[in-house]
Amino acid sequence: MKKYLITSREFYTDTPAVFRSIIHEQLQIHMPEYALYRDKSNPDYDVQAEYFTQVCSQFENVKSFIHQKVDLAKELGATGVHLTSKQSKEIPHAKELGLEVIISTHTYDEVLNAQKLGADAVTYSPIFASPGKGKAKGLDDLKELLKRCDIKVFALGGIVDDTHVELVKKVQPYGFASIRYFYAS
């Protein structure tokens, strides 16, 4: 099962050297195949995104993703872009630029639409309880979704420790995505 590390501002500073060091350390410890720079409040997002892609490029097996900004992902040489559930119309543009596309989804319809539009993968959430993310969908719902789609699905939401990872693994999605799992250790 693939691992998808998602950054969160609460786990690092905006100081470039410290940011790069923390990201490097987390990639080295957890060895995720996918990593997303996500920071909705950083006024210097583009600068920090460049540092992020530079650090990811030091790891042969890490695919780097930029949140929401298709053209920036292309400009920085990131592997791809991670779109919000409201950005599905940008999937074709991102694919034309040669980017891999992951999009956030919360319903079966959103997953099937992303599949139809050519996204490479989706995050589907929240699987377990997660602060401010609504009612947990649970593993049975995830299992049912996997029967209905052909797209790669990353389980997301409330996956904070190895117990959660093992439970998700039994359902056999493509992978799991998390913020807290990667920064808790």
> pLDDT by residue (tens digit) across 159-183?
999 999 999 999 999 999 999 999 8
For residue 42, which phi and psi values (nearest 5 degrees)?
A: -80, 115
The pLDDT score that the predictor gives to residue 16 is: 86
- Residue 83 has a pLDDT of 98
CA nearest to 94, candidates 68, 116, 112 = 68
The CATH number of the domain where 100 resides is what? Answer: 3.20.20.70
Average pLDDT, the chain: 95
Q: Which of 38, 128, 127, 43 is nearest to 83 (CA)?
A: 38
Q: What's the domain count of the chain?
A: 1
pLDDT of residue 185: 53
pLDDT in tens, 106-155: 999 999 999 999 999 999 999 998 877 789 999 999 999 999 999 999 99
pLDDT surpasses 60 at 81: yes
Listed in sequence order, the residues at least 6 apart from 180 whose beta carbon sits closer than 8 Å to its beta carbon are: 8, 159, 160
Do residues 91 and 71 make contact, with C-beta atoms less than 8 angstroms apart?
Answer: no
Q: 69: which DSSP letter?
A: -
CB atoms within 10 A of CB 96: 11
Q: Looking at the predicted structure, is the pLDDT value of residue 32 above 80?
A: yes
Q: Which domain holds residue 33?
A: 2-183
